[in-house]
Amino acid sequence: MSDIYISQERTAASVSEYDQVQENLSSGWNTWYTRSVLTHVLLPESAAIKLGIKEYREGGYLAEALIGRQDKDQEVVRPGLRSYDGSYTELTLQWRDIELRVESAVENGELFLLVTPLRNQLKPAVLIAECGILWNRKGYVQHANDGSIEAVFPDRNVRLYSTGSVVEEYHVPASGPYIALSLHETVGLSTGKPTGLEAIQALIDQRRRGIAEARRLAFGDAADLYASMQACMAWDTIYEPKYQRVVTPVSRIWNDQGYKLFCWDTYFAAYMCMEDNRDLAYANAVEITRAAVADGFVPNFDWSGTVISRDRSQPPVGSFIVLQLYRKYGDRWFLEEVYEQLCAWNAWWPDNRQIEEGLLAWGSNPMTPVADNLWETAGVHDTFGAALESGLDNSPMYDEIPFDKTKNTLKLADAGLMGLYIWDCLALAEIADILNDRERAEALRRSADRFGSGMQRLWDEQTGIFRNLRTDTGAFSERLSPTNFYPLLTPYVSDEQVKRMIDEHLLNPEEFWGDWVLPSISRNDPAYPDQEYWRGRIWAPMNMLVYLGLRNQGETETARLLADKSAELILKEWVMHGHVHENYNGDTGEGCDVKNSDRYYHWGGLLALIALMDRGYAVSPQETTKQSR
């Protein structure tokens, strides 16, 4: 059992401070509605302006649009410059030989939309601007006598006006009042009062130029890197009405049940917001920490508060990221908000995943379904469920590894989990120091020492790397992944071990180095040619964790090589398609070569963050254990 005690106290100050964060975020016009990037919503009222496209060649209607859809005849959305707060957004949309640029700006609390046709069918498309009220909120919508549409709320009214040619179009599946505008020309929409097209264009142009110039001044030749990460985070951010909060799920396409939050993904979302959006960074870190289940761990996933992986967690990266946020902003209340739950999660690992003294393994506990969802049973209390806990779903590292039904774990001590857990202990100990919790800080450091000693059992002197250990046979696993470098995150490695890991493995083109890095399994592994999900493809969080390990060891030159490779990888498809991929091909650097690489999955932006940190445009982690070499 862990000797780290858990307190359930929570200060009133932390509650009110965080409520203010969410109030700040949940205000004004933005693309809050998860089902369409063409819908603009006013919070807190929940007034919605839903843009749809009517085409006449086939008589179709595009009611919603998302970034990254792949099926035939679906829309293609390319994101452009945008702000987090909705003060400016830009995208281009292609659908059935129609191409539009859609821009928005917010000025003095009013919304302005500009829709510019770039390509059209023989008969021009029609823009449908439908007005409604989302999420069963109080109010109603009606046509006004002056040709506008009015949304009426208990405390205010909102009116929508248009420019351009209003047409009659009845054959659209709209359920609320709407304005139909011919797209043979550029059209504008505005709230508050009638605004001419030229005035809307002038405001939009001013916002576009302002954002572009600000980015150029702040990031120089790294402006595209920043844009790839920031735009993805901003477009993926939604308002989640069940718990009345702003949060950033991994991708809108995944939100088929309302929202889907994944554990380490959402902590990484907080990390990517850290540079210039304090409130959104805090929101993501707090909300995924609050998702913890009764057993004390933060679950692999929480889907709309109903379907939750109560059998397993995911890699413990939360304490490190929380600590980085504190180092940047210095808000003690933020640490107090998440501290007790992070401690409970930290204590859960040795209590539930220790297979031998000082050794940890991924696992999956028994659980009872509550909604009969596939993922409440698939792999639960078996090898696949444990692989899901690792975050590396179908990694060949776990092929044919037996599962211990008594201990609820794989029979495989995992070098990656060991490195991550020690890293978590040390970050949480520093948080405990800040909060003057000396007893717990000492206990956390004792836990780090204990598992640091255990981790040395995984060192393979013959091959010069930390390996996973089969506890059923006593043999090292032959398979290598970037997770085998995670011990670099800790101080429990020698200079000689660091050198051998880098020279013999990381920079070895037969294993991990090459034109595109880092593959999720070594290039000489029999599964590498599969290039299917975690079987050889490149994943941004692996690059990030290895980068942080290199920086932790003072290996700045090797870290820079990895940062430059990461930048090249994300820019390849960002420049070409506006994509930020879930994963990339280990041989070609492509993301679009397979369907199960989401085109706009936010943690792909970690590739940009690595380069931004390395080039001095974002706050870098402290090099804590050794001097730079």
3-state helix/strand/coil string of 45-65: CCEEEEEEEECCCCCCEECCC
Give the model confidence (pLDDT) of 31-41 as tens digits: 999 999 999 99
pLDDT of residue 4: 41
pLDDT of residue 193: 96
Answer whether 0.85 is exceeded by the pTM.
yes
H helix intervals, 276-357: 278-290, 318-329, 332-353
3-state secondary structure of 124: coil
Q: Where are the beta strands (DSSP E) in 108-167?
A: 110-119, 126-133, 140-143, 149-152, 157-162
CA 542 to chain centre: 14
Considering the chain, what percentage of its residues have pLDDT values greater than 70?
Answer: 96
Give every CB contact of residue 214 below 8 A, 6+ residues apart in sequence. none
Give the model confidence (pLDDT) of 331-346 as tens digits: 999 999 999 999 999 9
Confidence label for 15 from pLDDT (cuts 50, 70 and 90): low
Measured between alpha carbons, how far is 626 from 629 in angstroms, rounded to an integer? 9
Mean pLDDT over residues 135-145, rounded?
A: 96
- pLDDT > 90? residue 523: yes
CA 39 to chain centre: 21
pLDDT of residue 622: 63
CB atoms within 10 A of CB 498: 22
* 626 class by beta-carbon count within 10 Å (0-12 exposed, 13-18 middle, 19+ buried): middle
Instruction: Name residue 243's amino acid.
Output: Y
Hey, what are 190's tokens? 């505005």
pLDDT of residue 1: 39
CB atoms within 10 A of CB 619: 14
Q: What is the mean pLDDT of the chain?
A: 95
Crossing angle of the two packed helices 263-273 and 278-290, in degrees rounded to 10: 160
Crossing angle of the two packed helices 606-614 and 223-236, in degrees rounded to 10: 140
Contact present, 549 and 488 (Cβ < 8 Å): yes
DSSP class per residue in 514-556: SSS--BSS-TTSTTGGG-BTTBT-B-HHHHHHHHHHHHHTT-H
Hey, what are 293's tokens? 């289940």
Give the model confidence (pLDDT) of 400-453 as tens digits: 999 999 999 999 999 999 999 999 999 999 999 999 999 999 999 999 999 999
Confidence label for 496 from pLDDT (cuts 50, 70 and 90): very high
Give the model confidence (pLDDT) of 369-382 as tens digits: 999 999 999 999 99
- pLDDT > 50? residue 6: no
- pLDDT > 60? residue 628: no
Measured between alpha carbons, how far is 169 from 617 in angstroms, rounded to an integer? 50
Measured between alpha carbons, how far is 244 from 61 in angstroms, rounded to an integer? 31
